A and B are shown apart, each in its own frame.
Chain A
């Protein structure tokens, strides 16, 4: 297909031919159903898109933040704690790939535990392990090697590099994104199926019109165009309305916050707000292809 041919077709599709449009009788109810379905699909697509973007962001953030930090826990009798902490810090500073290592102060530890024990519990009285925050360098350290060395020299030290609980979380976020992407594909497919059904219904309802047009010398492309234009524009306008409502819904959701965690992060950020604009275009494209195929098949069956 030449660029000019396509451009011409696109122009004809958008500007249209007022006369050509009139040769197919208007169909009020089917038109409204198509509009509604396209709108509903676009509305759902906006949410699926938001979900996919948010879960993608979440997976990246979790993978990134948690990968960089690890915790070293020192469970030792009170009298050996300071010595073991010191020894562990020394080892950590010598380990290549460790950017920094820092023992939490008593106040910091108290702050971490406060949500569980309340601020008034005297931590000194409890056998709370000493925590050391390890920040990884790029490239990172060899966790197995570090563990072996700590085992030999600091018996009370346990390295927790968060992989244990990071991986399932990141996996979950990835699955969520996959689900969202599959949803978008399903919505696209359902839209295509729905437009195909509607177009077939319209073509069948207008069998007489098509016959008359053929008799007076209309080419298939002319007849098909009348239907294609109609359904494409309907899908486009329906999806546009659905998209606006969907975006409004996402926009009205509470802003991302620490406390809300994942749920409040479900939205668009920055240029992400431009992405839903592709939904009506995609809807129109799907309608174009679906109607074209339906018309081609139907017209091909006639003599």
Chain B
């Protein structure tokens, strides 16, 4: 696989630098439970614009749940979640859709439209927001190249390997050039080299001013990242969020 140099300036040139100062996403005394007791409680955090956070914790601790709270897929059972200075609870369905365009999400179980080829899946956020695809064609190709899926562009998602799916999911999450990128185990299925590459992309995005939140088990990934950006590590432990020390 030939991975070209990182030349995504075309795509990332349009980062909006709004919300400077105020937190992009803010959880205020948030608690959540699925019905079987509190999973998270009294949890507060502010994601400042341009910050880079890792989220770790044992399996089942509630990492995915916390991320879902951040992008509005779940509403907290107590406390408040604010995104771009709007209370997520107060958003109607259309506003929620617009919020999702400003927050790129890589899901743990990358979901695709299985009947559409990879390239259209990656372009899906463009399609549903009514962008003119012909104008984005070049960016789309470049992005596809960069995640190493140029050759698989016309394959259907079920035909992809786990790692290919994750790369496609990451490409899809950034295609709209969102202000925040939330990734749930984006490197779960890829080899070391590819995980470095995905990290590289996230770091580059962060340098362009994007706010990044990544849930991962992969401590070596976190260490690698710390060499490149100022990343903070949050750990979910005992229903609470703790800032992990320098022991990592």
B169 → A minimal CB distance (Å): 10
Of chain A, the residue at the smallest CB distance from B178 is A217
A window 214-239: CB within 8 A of B: 214-222
A13 → B minimal CB distance (Å): 16
B window 147-191: CB within 8 A of A: 172, 176
The answer, yes or no, to whether B80 is at the interface (CB within 8 Å) is no
The answer, yes or no, to whether A299 is at the interface (CB within 8 Å) is yes
A220–B98 CA distance with the chains assembled, in angstroms: 11
Pair A216/B94 contact, Cβ less than 8 Å: no
The answer, yes or no, to whether B40 is at the interface (CB within 8 Å) is no
Of chain B, the residue at the smallest CB distance from A212 is B111
Pair B128/A209 contact, Cβ less than 8 Å: no
- Decide if the interface of chain A is mainly helix, strand, loop or mixed: helix
A185–B93 CA distance with the chains assembled, in angstroms: 35
The answer, yes or no, to whether A208 is at the interface (CB within 8 Å) is yes
Given contacts A20-B127, A22-B120, A23-B116, contact A216 B172 (CB under 8 A): yes
Q: Tell me which of B75, B114, B127 has the highest count of chain A C-beta atoms within 10 A of its own C-beta.
A: B127
The answer, yes or no, to whether A25 is at the interface (CB within 8 Å) is yes
Of chain A, the residue at the smallest CB distance from B111 is A212
Pair A213/B128 contact, Cβ less than 8 Å: yes
Residues of B within 8 A of A23 (CB): 113, 116, 124, 127-128
Partner of A216, one of B73, B93, B114, B124: B124
Of chain A, the residue at the smallest CB distance from B99 is A217
Given contacts A20-B127, A23-B127, A212-B124, contact A219 B111 (CB under 8 A): no
Q: How many pairs of A and B residues are in contact by the CB < 8 Å rule?
A: 65
Partner of B94, one of A208, A212, A219: A219
Pair B113/A212 contact, Cβ less than 8 Å: yes
The answer, yes or no, to whether B33 is at the interface (CB within 8 Å) is no
Pair B125/A217 contact, Cβ less than 8 Å: yes
A214–B151 CA distance with the chains assembled, in angstroms: 28
Of chain A, the residue at the smallest CB distance from B71 is A215
Given contacts A19-B127, A19-B133, A222-B128, contact A212 B112 (CB under 8 A): yes
A219–B100 CA distance with the chains assembled, in angstroms: 10
Pair B112/A217 contact, Cβ less than 8 Å: no
The answer, yes or no, to whether A303 is at the interface (CB within 8 Å) is yes
B window 108-139: CB within 8 A of A: 111-116, 120, 124-125, 127-130, 133
Pair A217/B128 contact, Cβ less than 8 Å: yes
Partner of B129, one of A25, A211, A217: A217
Residues of B within 8 A of A19 (CB): 127, 133
A22–B116 CA distance with the chains assembled, in angstroms: 8
Q: Tell me which of A209, A213, A214, A215 has the highest count of chain B C-beta atoms within 10 A of its own C-beta.
A: A215
Sample (28) of A-B pairs whose CB atoms are under 8 Å apart: A19-B133, A20-B127, A22-B120, A23-B127, A23-B128, A25-B115, A212-B111, A212-B113, A215-B100, A216-B100, A216-B101, A216-B124, A216-B128, A217-B97, A217-B98, A217-B100, A217-B101, A217-B125, A217-B128, A217-B129, A217-B176, A218-B129, A219-B94, A219-B97, A220-B94, A221-B94, A222-B130, A303-B73
